[in-house]
Structure 1
Amino acid sequence: MISLYRPGDSVLHRLPAGVKILAFAVIAVAVSVLAASPIGLGVAAVLTICVYALGGFGPRELVRQALAIKWVVVVMLLTQLVFLPPVTALTNTGRVVVVVVLASLITLTTRVPAVLDSVERGLAPLRRLGADPAAVGLVLALTITAIPVIAGFATAIREAQRARGVRVGPHTAVVPLLVMSIKHSDELAEALAARGVQ
């Protein structure tokens, strides 16, 4: 299975997946509620750097994870600048970046099967209410796997456009990326249906 996992022996690598997921949920809520000002966002950013160091990663890896979502950040920021003051728009976008970068740290320090097992165990009590933990785990696995696959599509599109002398940019890549992503989802749906997954 494709993942971002990096082998290591740090404190975060040794923590159980369930503990990391719960800690992330608490931190994400705290960042969303408490980092509503530039000062609060600065504190959250410093803490994020410290947590990355705890996982054995330096600022370079943190920046790499942030740059991976640069287009999402650009769209969010430009959209908010239309309706909100610049400081508020920057703070809101910064909070999202901090949460996403922290979420990336889970996949950097935890194998995907361990994450899925933890989610299934955590949701097991909900079986009585009709929930299917295995189905939730499958959806999570497909989501995690789809991210690098779609990133690979984007890379292939950029390389093909460069080879043809086409000017590379978001406006020339969106339609091919959508087409390739939809085709991939159709093939995945057919494969799951062939295996009896409803």
Structure 2
Amino acid sequence: MLTLYRPGDGPWHRLPAGPKSLVLLVIVLGVSLLPATWWCAAVAVGACVGCYAVRGAGMRDLLRQVVTVRWILLVTLAGQLVFTGPETAVANTARVGAAVVISGLLTLTTPVSELLDVLERAMRPLAWLRIDPQRAALTVAVTLSTLPVLARLEREVREAQRARGGGRSLRLFAIPFLVVALKHADALGDALTARGVR
């Protein structure tokens, strides 16, 4: 969910989108259901490293994904430390981080067109609820592809803020980030409208 597709010929790239989605779903569920212990935190991190330690992905991509979700990890850890002990806090943070980063392999190794086809097939049963599978799949695909764009915009605003001597002020960051994010949303909406999506 965090990085756009990168071409490659590794095992994750060669695996068809449908089976790959199921395999990653099983791994993410397995990591999420681990008990909150030190040992299981190590298992979650090990599963994450194992998923990326194959040709076509690699530790650089893993590090990039972890850096992207660092704020989620910090907020999760801080919130857990307030209400639970260190072991539970670290284990829960490791499970959340591993689940998010492992699921990022799907968008990292699957072209958006293939991902859209898989999502559309998976959502066909929703048609009897009067939910358009094509529109629902497009919404999910657009959301997945927008997250990395927002992460890039965040980096750009932070760099511009530092270049102007703005320090780490949240107020000085939030307003420019909101402006560029809304501009991106407008451009995305215009592009979808131009292609006949309503």
TM class by smaller structure: 0.7 to 0.9
Q: For the Cα contact (< 8 Å) 1:7–1:109, is it kept in 2?
A: yes
Paired residues of 2:4 and 2:145 also in contact (CA < 8 A): no
Instruction: Kindly provide the CA deviation profile for residues 33-83 of structure 1, in whole angstroms up to 9, marking residues without a partner as x.
Output: 124322122122222222212353332321221111111211221122221
% identical aligned pairs = 45
Instruction: Give the alignment of 1:94-105 within 5 angstroms.
Output: 94-105=94-105
User: Is the 8 Å Cα contact of residues 13 and 55 (structure 1) preserved in structure 2?
Assistant: no
In angstroms, what is the RMSD of aligned CA positions? 2.2
CA contact (8 A) 1:35 1:44 kept: no
Is residue 2:33 matched to residue 1:33?
Answer: yes
State which drifts further: 46-55 or 89-98. 46-55
**Could you say if the C-alpha distance between residues 182 and 35 of structure 1 is closer, same or farther in structure 2, counting changes exceeding 3 Å?**
farther
Counterpart for residue 127 of structure 2 = 127
Measure, in 2, the Cα distance between the counterparts of 1:49 and 1:23. 16
Q: In the superposition, relative to structure 1, how do residues 71 and 170 fare at CA in structure 2: closer, same or farther (>3 Å)?
A: farther
* Change beyond 3 A, Cα 1:6–1:190: closer
Residues 5-46 of structure 1, C-alpha deviation per residue, up to 9 Å, x if partnerless? Answer: 222222211111111111222222211112432212212222
Equivalenced residue count is: 196
Structure 1: 5+ residue stretches without partners: none
Summarize the Cα distance change of 1:170–1:65 in structure 2 as closer, same or farther, 3 Å threshold.
farther
Rate the CA distance shift 1:169–1:4 in 2: closer, same or farther, 3 A: farther
Distance 2:126 2:109 in 1: 27
- TM-score (norm: length of structure 1): 0.86
Judged with a 3 Å threshold, the aligned counterparts in structure 2 of structure 1 residues 84 and 171 are, in CA distance, closer, same or farther, namely farther
**Where does residue 8 of structure 1 map in the other structure?**
8
The CA deviation at 1:171 is 5.6
Cα pair 2:49 2:62 within 8 Å, conserved: yes
- For the 8 Å contact 1:5–1:111, the answer to whether it is kept is yes
Corresponding residue of 1:60: 60
Output the amino acid matched with 1:106: L
Query: Do the aligned partners of 1:4 and 1:107 also contact (CA within 8 Å) in 2?
Result: yes
User: TM-score, structure 2 length as denominator?
Assistant: 0.86
- Report the Cα distance in structure 1 between the residues aligned to 2:158 and 2:56, rounded to whole angstroms: 32
Aligned residue in 2 for 1:112? 112
Cα distance 1:69–1:170, how it changes in 2: closer, same or farther (>3 A)?
Answer: farther
Verify the 8 A CA contact 1:35 1:95 in the aligned structure 2: no
Tell whether 2:182 aligns with 1:150: no
